[in-house]
Amino acid sequence: MADTEHGPLIAEIRAAVETNSTGTRRERLLARLRELELAHGTPTFGDHVKVLVNEAEEEAAEIAPFLSRLSSLLP
């Protein structure tokens, strides 16, 4: 799971997705967040951030307010 540094941001994103999206998009974004949390501290963490950001840019307005903060997690 995300540590205290990333935990609050992940929680904010999760709340936004759960509140503002439905159906398969919601499930896909929540799955990406789970993958991101599980990858924390691994060499693939940056890849998971990029995947979530790319998907969010394509269709998920719910995450748009968090994109710059999420991108700051990249190494």
* Tens-place pLDDT, residues 15-42: 988 988 888 888 988 999 999 999 988 9
Across the range 43-67, mean pLDDT stands at 80
Dist. CA 39–CA 33, nearest whole Å: 10
Q: Look up residue 62 and give its DSSP letter.
A: T
Residue 1 has what pLDDT?
40
d(CA 66, CA 30): 15
Q: Which residue has the higher pLDDT, 34 or 62?
A: 34
pTM (2 decimals)?
Answer: 0.72
CB 29 within 8 A of CB 21: yes
Q: Compute the distance between CA of residue 73 and CA of residue 75 in angstroms, rounded to an integer.
A: 6
If you average pLDDT over every residue of the chain, what do you get? 82
